[in-house]
Amino acid sequence: MFIWWQAAIMGVVQGITEFLPISSTAHLMLTAQLLDIPQTDFSKSFEIIIQFGSILAVLSLYFKKIFNWEAIKKLFVAFLPTAIIGLGLYKIVKTYLLGNSVIAAWALLVGGILIIIFEYRYRSNNKEGIDSLSKLSYAKCLVIGIFQSLAIVPGVSRSAATIIGGLGLGLKRSFIAEFSFLLAIPTMAAATGLDLLKSADSFSKDDLGVLLVGFVVSYFVAILVIKWLVSYLRRFDFIPFGVYRVIIGLLLLLYLF
């Protein structure tokens, strides 16, 4: 069972890693192992539900950009692939993928290598490209959504998949980063809502308190990380994160095998 300080640490990890291209799911799994938190149905639900704190962080920072009809339509189209795949594979993901350290380790390693290769090839994309919703077609929204759906695999970063997919389609780095933040709202809200619908009846009062701690901590940490990442992406690329992923993936594989 969780205790409050473990929930707080998990909330910090969630808030830091959700919007960075390093995979929040993989880091929550690794943190749970380091804190000796058993992989139960509740611990898996906890890792999904505290994402709601990150959702509210985006809402707090981008409230005006979200609630306009053009943004809603294009975010809906981009969300569709994840909605279809996530709903269809929910049981498989929660039963076989969440908590699987081997899959997460390989995804971290391979994903890191791909990020490094991609960034060396598309460095110029930071200066030119699509920089507004009005220039973003529905077809490209759908492709970005397909990229995001890759994050159903633990260790595949949702933000990295979305941002790199957008860069490959010709979107400006700062714009696709913000679009990724906005796209996180329906994506994580749906994941949280689906898990609550299927699991809420099994939660105790103590479980709800632990969830609240993780939620609040992830909210405040995510606000700081989003602000920092937007500033970072105006000047730098994802190569340091790719190197970090490779190192963590290799260390985890060495530990496991």
What is the average per-residue pLDDT within 8-15? 94
Tell me if 238 sits within 8 A of 160, measured CB to CB. Answer: yes
The structure's pTM equals: 0.85
Which residues are within 8 A (CB) of 208 and not within 5 positions of it... i.e. 6 or more apart?
Answer: none
Cα gap 161→165, rounded to integer Å: 6
Q: Indicate the pLDDT class of residue 127, thresholds 50, 70 and 90.
A: low
pLDDT score for 44: 77
- Domain residue extents for the chain: 49-256
DSSP codes, 123-149: GGGGTSSB-SGGG--HHHHHHHHHHHH
Query: Looking at residue 101, what is its pLDDT?
Result: 83
- Note the pLDDT tens digit of each residue in 61-113: 988 888 888 889 999 999 999 888 877 776 777 676 776 888 889 999 999 99
* Coil/strand/helix, residue 171: strand
What is the model's pLDDT at position 222?
A: 95
Predicted pLDDT of residue 111: 92
Question: For residue 123, what pLDDT is reported?
Answer: 64
pLDDT for 139: 96
| pLDDT value for 244 | 96
- Alpha carbon distance 62, 56 (integer Å): 10
